[in-house]
């Protein structure tokens, strides 16, 4: 089963369960602009942020969302400046997902910017992992390591991220309820397969990880639409 077929199946089920995230009418009708997400920040802005002590302020505040009263650490009352959607307890991650996948009035170039950011977070670690594997294979002999004969109890961040992505796809395509990820028997099952893996909470799985994977799928949809000819869209 090739990768394109699996991707199309995932897109179908994601669209079925989360239609507003992927194929809203305003989302399709916009002209999408492909650009490197890092190009949206000028050198002057980078120097300015670098000189500020502590954690840098998220790019969503001020330009894309109005920051309200602080509710808890990292969470604020927030309002989208494009569609006026209000969060009682919003985080920069939630707002970025909204701009990338949900907001019906956001400009096309801004949506693409946040799509790039989320997709980079989802696919960046996997790209780094593949590069490291190639480097190791090119620089070492074919001798089998003793570590390959037993299951390691320690996993790299890249490997954990790769398993997280596989979990999101499995839960969406198979229609598995998010709370199953916290079921003790399901956790035991995962531990049996991979002792070093600790699954994420249902909030992280259905929130940040799903948002990132949705952005990856949205990017692929946009590219397919832009490369398609004689495309006809109809509304029932």
Predicted confidence (pLDDT) per residue in 165-206, tens digit: 999 999 999 999 999 999 999 999 999 988 889 999 999 999
Predicted confidence (pLDDT) per residue in 8-24, tens digit: 555 555 555 544 444 44
CA 15, CA 9: separation in Å to the nearest integer?
A: 10
CA 61, CA 54: separation in Å to the nearest integer?
A: 17
Residue with tokens 């946040």: 114
**Residue 38, class by beta-carbon neighbours within 10 Å (0-12 exposed, 13-18 middle, 19+ buried)?**
exposed
Structure tokens at 98: 């909204």
Predicted confidence (pLDDT) per residue in 66-109, tens digit: 999 999 988 899 999 999 999 998 899 889 999 988 899 999 88
Predicted confidence (pLDDT) per residue in 107-161, tens digit: 988 988 988 888 888 776 555 555 555 555 555 545 555 554 455 678 888 889 8
Predicted confidence (pLDDT) per residue in 204-234, tens digit: 999 989 998 999 888 888 888 888 887 777 7
What Å distances lie between residue 53 and 15, 75, 92, 199, CA to CA? 42, 20, 19, 34
What was the pLDDT predicted at 24?
44
| Element housing 166 (H / E) | helix 157-174
What was the pLDDT predicted at 138?
59
What was the pLDDT predicted at 2?
55
Q: DSSP letters of 33-87?
A: ----GGGGS-HHHHHHHHHS-SSPPPTTBTTTEEEEEEEETTEEEEEETTT--EE
Pick from 53, 133, 64, 132: nearest CA to 97: 64
Predicted confidence (pLDDT) per residue in 17-64, tens digit: 544 444 444 444 444 444 444 444 544 445 555 544 556 678 899 889
């Amino acid at each position: 089963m090739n990768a394109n077929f699996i991707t199309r199946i995932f897109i179908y089920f994601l669209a079925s369960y989360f239609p507003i995230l992927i194929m809203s009418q305003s989302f399709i009708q916009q002209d999408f602009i492909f650009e490197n997400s890092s190009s949206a920040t000028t050198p002057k802005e980078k120097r300015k942020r670098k000189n500020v002590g502590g954690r840098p302020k998220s790019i969503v505040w001020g330009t894309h969302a109005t920051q309200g009263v602080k509710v808890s650490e990292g969470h604020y009352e927030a309002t989208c400046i494009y569609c006026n959607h209000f969060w009682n307890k919003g985080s920069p991650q939630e707002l970025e997902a909204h701009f990338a996948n949900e907001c019906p009035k956001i400009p096309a170039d801004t949506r693409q910017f946040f799509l790039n950011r989320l997709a980079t977070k989802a696919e960046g670690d996997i790209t780094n992992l593949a590069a490291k594997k190639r480097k190791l294979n090119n620089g070492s002999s074919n001798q089998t390591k003793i570590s390959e004969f037993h299951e390691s109890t320690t996993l790299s961040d890249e490997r954990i991220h790769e398993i997280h992505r596989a979990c999101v796809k499995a839960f969406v395509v198979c229609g598995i309820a998010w709370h199953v990820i916290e079921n003790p028997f399901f956790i035991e099952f995962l531990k049996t397969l991979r002792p070093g893996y600790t699954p994420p909470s249902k909030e992280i799985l259905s929130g940040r990880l799903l948002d990132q994977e949705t952005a990856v799928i949205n990017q692929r949809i946009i590219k397919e639409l832009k490369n398609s000819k004689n495309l006809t869209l109809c509304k029932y």
